[in-house]
Amino acid sequence: MIFLKSDEEIELLRISNQIVAKTLAEMAKIIAPGISTEQLNKVAEEFIRDSGAVPGFLGYGGFPKSICTSVNDQVVHGIPTEKVVLEDGDIISVDCGAYINGFHGDSAYTFCVGNVKPEIVDLLRTTKESLYKGIEQTEEGHRIGDIGYAVQSYCEERGYSVVREMVGHGLGRDMHEAPEVPNYGRKGNGVMLKSGMVICIEPMINLGSRHLFFEKDGWTTRTLDRKHSAHFEHAVAIRRGKADILSSFEYIEQVLGSNAI
């Protein structure tokens, strides 16, 4: 069942998602060679709690940490650990959730660590741009398949592949609500979009093939060919017919300045 949100509920979702956006900006401040993913997790958890929220991911389905940190060929759901220390040339997707006032925030950004090869930076740029191609299709009367088609065609035309096993989702009082929002699809197919819907669009795009496998921890996904993968996510409401992005990359990009991708 799809829960349509009132204007008041959308404003509460904006608060949750803005806390996530600011938490990701805290990540931008400290991501550098030598920092462990567990250190990132600690800073994120503290910032979320200081903002009056609760980490939305902590304990969700048994997930043990407050953020997901997925490095290089890891696709999503990487578990922060002292054992993973970032190195120059890495990329890291940080996916973050914050829960406050009964509503979840959920957004992700893939960061460069030091100097990253141009071909990898291009993967990041394309993935981020594909998210906005999806958002352009997010309006009343369009269908879920229009979003997936926009993301998929933009990425595949550039030689990248789209992960199928994991998809975007509705967002609200639960972190994962209906409908599913695949990053692939056919125009005119799927659920019709309506005002009051709030969805997370989150392309996971691979440099090589789309196939992936689960690591032994049962969470982390990694590309089968060990090539890099990127992930960007926004929470988007349909408000009075049009897309209203509830999360934000502005705080991150203020921190990154001219180093923003």
What are the DSSP calls for 77-99, one per residue? -PPP-TT-B--TT-EEEEEEEEE
Site for Mg ion in 77-96 (CB under 5 A): 95
Binds Mg ion by CB under 5 A, chosen from 45, 73, 106, 146: 106
CA distances from 157 to 126, 130, 151 (A): 10, 11, 10
CB of 176 to Mg ion, least distance (A): 7
CA–CA gap between residue 241 and residue 218 (Å, rounded): 39
Minimal CA–CA distance to 204: which of 238, 174, 243, 161?
161
Binds Mg ion by CB under 5 A, chosen from 10, 71, 100, 108: 108
Q: Which is nearer to Mg ion, 108 or 237 (CB)?
A: 108
CB 96 within 8 A of CB 40: no
For 199, the enclosing helix (H) or strand (E) is strand 198-201
Q: Which is nearer to Mg ion, 62 or 114 (CB)?
A: 62
CB of 204 to Mg ion, least distance (A): 10
The amino acid occupying position 152 is: Q
CB of 116 to Mg ion, least distance (A): 22
* 3-class DSSP state of 243: strand
CB of 244 to Mg ion, least distance (A): 17
CB of 172 to Mg ion, least distance (A): 12
Sketch the per residue contact string, 163 through 202, with Mg ion: x for CB under 5 A, - otherwise.
-------------------------------------x--
Residues near Mg ion (CB under 5 A), total: 5
Contacts to Mg ion by CB under 5 A: 95, 106, 108, 200, 233
